[in-house]
Chains A and B, each alone.
Chain A
C-alpha cells in the first residue's frame, strides 16, 4: 500500500499509531465532512482547506487520509506536514539569518509578538511551497497544524498562499479558529470537526479492543469518552496502559490512570501555591517539568485544565484563570522560566481564598 511513511517497528506497537486510519473510508464519524472531501477527490477540484475543531478530534488524521486518498502512491513526494507549534531549532534560526532577505524589523507595534515569524516561514514553509510539484495532479499539499500559533505571521503566510497557490494547496488545522485572521479564512473552505459522537466512539474503541483482545462494558467506554473528550487516540493509549499494568478494567482504575497520566500533580501544585508554600511549589514545578518535558507554556495549559476540575468556588477559579492568562501572555519572549514561575506562585498565593483544594 501507498500512503504515509512506514511506521517504524517499535512505534507500531502503540495502539493509537497502529490503528490510525489510513483512508477516509476508515475514519470513524465525521460523516458530513468526509462526504465533502470525497467529492473533492472525485472531481479533482481541490481548494485550500481550513479544518477547525477541538484538540484530539481527528483533524490531522482526516487531513492525512484525504491527502493519501488523493495522491495514492504519490503521497510521499506530494505532501508535507509542518507543525507551527514546534519552535525553530538553533540551527534553523541560523539558517534563516543566513538567508535573511526577509525584513526582521521588530519595533513599534511588532515588539513583543511571538518572533517565530519571518524566520519560520523562511525556513519551514518557503522551501516546501517553492519546490515544483511533480505528480499527476499538478499540485502538492502542505498541511500546517496548530496554524493559529503563527499569530501575526499569518499575513506573511497569506502572501505565500497567493504566490504559490497554483503549485501548492494548503490544509490549515486549528483548534482556535478565532485566532485565524479573516483574509486566511476567506481563502479557504472551512470544515468544522466536532468531537466524535459517543455511539461512534463506542463502536471504534470496541472494534480496536476486540482486535487487541479486549472487551469493554458500555459504562466504561462512556467514562473513557468523558475523560478523553472523545479523543480516540488518547483512549487507545489509556487502553494500552491498562494492558501493561495488568489492571482490572473498571471506572475506578480508569480515573486513577488518568490522574497520573493527564495531570501529574497539578492539583498538588495548585494547592501549594494557593497556600503559599513557595519553595515546595517551585520544586514540584521543576519535578513535573523533568518528568513530562513540558515547556512553561505547556505547564500553564495543564494548570488551566486542572483548575477547572478542582472543587473551588467559581470566583476563585475565575481569578486563577485570569492569572494563568496573564502569565501565559508575558512568557512569550521569556529567557528563563524561573521569574515567571515565581510570579505565578505569588499571584496564586495572593488570591484571598478560604476554600482549600
Chain B
C-alpha cells in the first residue's frame, strides 16, 4: 500500500506524534496499491477503454470500501486530471450545470505546464449523488443525465445505495457495485501501515485481526481505529505506565466488542431480570455495552431485550400488566425524547425500565432469573410493507394514508392477485417500481 512518497514522509516522522490522519496519508495513490477490489478495478478500466460507448460509470457501495480512492488511483495511473464535484454541495440544476460546464471547458494548470502532451484528459468525479434529494431536485438529476449524454470526458459517480430516484442516471451508466471488503484485505492493509509507521512491535497481529473484524468491511473505520489504538499506546508508554502488552490488551478491550461478545449483554440482562432492587437494576443495565447499536439507541435496544425475556418471570397476568405499564411509560418517554432531542428525559426512561423489572420481582418474590436470555426477535415490518405505494396512491386520489389503507387496500390486493389482465404490470409501472420494490409488494401480497 505504501508508496515511495509515503516512506519518505515516514523516515522524517518516525517516533514523532502522529498528526496526519492515516486514512489520508495512506490513501493508495496507484491502482496496484488499491487492495480488495480487483474485479471492480477491471470493470472500471474496461469502461474507460470503451469510452464513449457509455459515458458514465456509477460506483455503488457502502462507505469506506474505496470508491473514491479507486477513482483517484485510476486517474493517477492514466495521467488524467480529476475534476471533483460533491453533488450534495450543489443541489439545484442551475448550480450543477454551471459548475460542470465550467469544469469541462477549462483546462487545468497542468495542461499549460506540459502543453497537455502527457495528459490523456480528464475524469469528472461526482461524489455522493445520493445527496441529491428526491423531488425538489428533479432538475438536478435531469441535468446530470444531460451531462452523461453529452460529456466529452468520462464521468464517475459514487453513491452508497441503489436508489430508485436515480434510475435515469443508472440507465446512462455502467453500474459497478461494491460489496463489503473482506476482513483479510483490511488486515493486510493495516499491517502494511504499521510497517511503514515502524510500529510493528507495538501492536500484535491478533489485535489487527480484531480491528479488521470490527470494521465491518469499511477500510476507513479500520484505519481510524488502528490510528487511535497506536496513539493511545504511545501515550501510555510515555507515561511509563504498564507494559505494552497489557496496554494493548486494554486498548483492544476498548474497541467495540464483536458479535460473540454479546455474552456480556446476556449476562447483564439476566442479572437485571433477577433483581428486585431498582438501584441494582439501574447500575446493571447501565453497565451493559450494546455492541450492535450506536450509543443513542442503547436504551431502545435494552428495552427490546427486556421485552423479549421478562414474560418468562411469571405467568401472572396481573403482575406482568403492572410491570408492562412502566415499560410503556419508558417507551413513551423514549418517543418523546426522539421528537424533542431533550436528553434529560433519558433519566426517566431508565427509572421506569428499572422500576418495571423490580416491581415484577418484588411481587413474585423471585430472586434470580433462571431462564436462558433470548435475543430480541427482529420484526422487520418495513421490508415488504407497502408504505411508498400507499403514499403515492394517497397523493393521486386526494386520500389520507389511513384512508387508503382502510378502504382501498383490500380491493387493491385482490386486483393485484387476480391474473385476469395486466393490472399488476400497469400499476407497478405507474408507481415507477423496479425489481426491488416489486419484490417487496409481491411478498406483501403473499399471505
A interface with B by C-beta (< 8 Å): 4-5, 7-11, 13-14, 16-17, 56, 60, 64, 81, 83, 85-86, 91, 104, 106, 111-112, 115, 145-146, 231, 233-234, 237-238, 240-241, 244-245, 260-262, 276, 278, 286, 289-295, 298, 330-336, 338-340, 342-343, 346-347, 349-350
Contact = CB atoms under 8 A, between A and B. Distances in A.
Nearest to A80: B398
B411 interface: yes
A347 B318 CA distance: 8
Nearest to A234: B407
A237 B334 CA distance: 40
A295 B318 CA distance: 26
Nearest to A149: B400
B330 interface: yes
B332 A333 contact: yes
Interface string B317-354: 11011001101111111111111100000000000000
A229 B182 CA distance: 61
Nearest to B396: A8
Contacts, number: 159
Contacts of B398: 4-5, 60, 64, 81
B331 A115 contact: no
Contacts of B304: 336, 338
A338 B405 contact: no
Nearest to A20: B397
A347 B321 CA distance: 6
- Chain B, interface size category, equals 35 or more
Given A14-B412, A346-B320, 14 more contacts: A13-B415, A13-B423, A16-B408, A16-B411, A115-B339, A146-B400, A237-B410, A290-B444, A293-B385, A298-B405, A330-B329, A335-B335, A339-B330, A346-B324
Nearest to A14: B411
B381 interface: yes
A350 B339 contact: no
A241 B423 CA distance: 14
B303 interface: yes
Nearest to A285: B379
Contacts of A60: 398-399
Interface of B: 133, 300, 303-304, 307, 311, 317-318, 320-321, 324-325, 327-340, 379, 381, 384-387, 390, 393-394, 396-403, 405-412, 414-415, 418, 420, 423, 426-427, 430, 444, 447
28 contacts: A4-B398, A7-B396, A10-B426, A10-B427, A11-B430, A56-B407, A83-B394, A86-B402, A237-B410, A240-B415, A244-B418, A276-B317, A290-B384, A291-B447, A293-B386, A293-B390, A293-B405, A293-B409, A294-B405, A335-B331, A335-B335, A335-B338, A336-B334, A342-B324, A343-B328, A346-B321, A347-B321, A350-B318
A245 B304 CA distance: 42
Nearest to B339: A115
A22 B329 CA distance: 47
Given A241-B410, A293-B390, A333-B335, A85 B396 contact: no
B390 A346 contact: no
Contacts of B423: 10, 13
B382 to A, nearest CB: 10
Contact of A335 (B317, B325, B334, B405): B334
Contacts of B427: 10
